[in-house]
Amino acid sequence: MSELTITKANFEQEVLNSDKPVLLDFWAPWCMPCRMIAPIVEEIAEDTAGKAVVGKVNVDEEGELAMKFGVASIPTLIVFKGGQEVKRVVGVQSKAALLALLD
């Protein structure tokens, strides 16, 4: 299972009410660093299937969510546990660094 597309409509259900840690990738199609990190995020979605939820938020389509979380630069990756933001990184990260966020 690859990553979910997160929108305002499913945010509460998929992120806030998740019983697993959630890694959200705030991105945009025109963002080159976002494209660089996309395959890594997809691998993490596959590697953590059943243990974590991996979602993508297109900031062009979901500006309200981006504003709510103060996303100024992309890619921004935020980890939620129990509906709360617990960790955040900005910019291209290694797979190991992203996996460590979920621990």
Closest CA to 20 of 61, 49, 46, 63: 49
Helices within 1-94 (DSSP H only): 11, 32-47, 63-68
pLDDT value at residue 103 = 86
Q: How far apart are CA 55 and CA 74, in angstroms?
A: 15
Q: What is the pLDDT of residue 65?
A: 96
- Catalytic residue from among 15, 34, 41, 74: 34
57 contact partners, CB below 8 Å, separation of at least 6:
6, 7, 24, 25, 26, 27, 65, 66
Query: Which residue in this structure is represented by tokens 């991996």?
Result: 54
**Model's pTM, two decimal places?**
0.95
Q: Which domain holds residue 92?
A: 4-102
pLDDT averaged per 10 residues, the chain (length 103):
88 96 97 96 95 97 97 97 97 96 91
Of 4, 28, 31, 99, which one is the catalytic site residue?
A: 31
Q: Count Cβ atoms within 10 A of the Cβ of residue 38 and give its class: 0-12 exposed, 13-18 middle, 19 or more buried.
A: middle
34 catalytic? Reply is yes
Q: Does the annotation mark 51 as catalytic?
A: no
Q: Which token pair is 56?
A: 């993508």
C-alpha–C-alpha distance, residues 97 and 103, integer Å: 10
> Is there a contact between 50 and 15 (Cβ–Cβ < 8 Å)?
no
In this prediction, residue 88 carries a pLDDT of 97
Structural domains in the chain (count)? 1
Residue 67 belongs to a domain with what CATH number?
A: 3.40.30.10
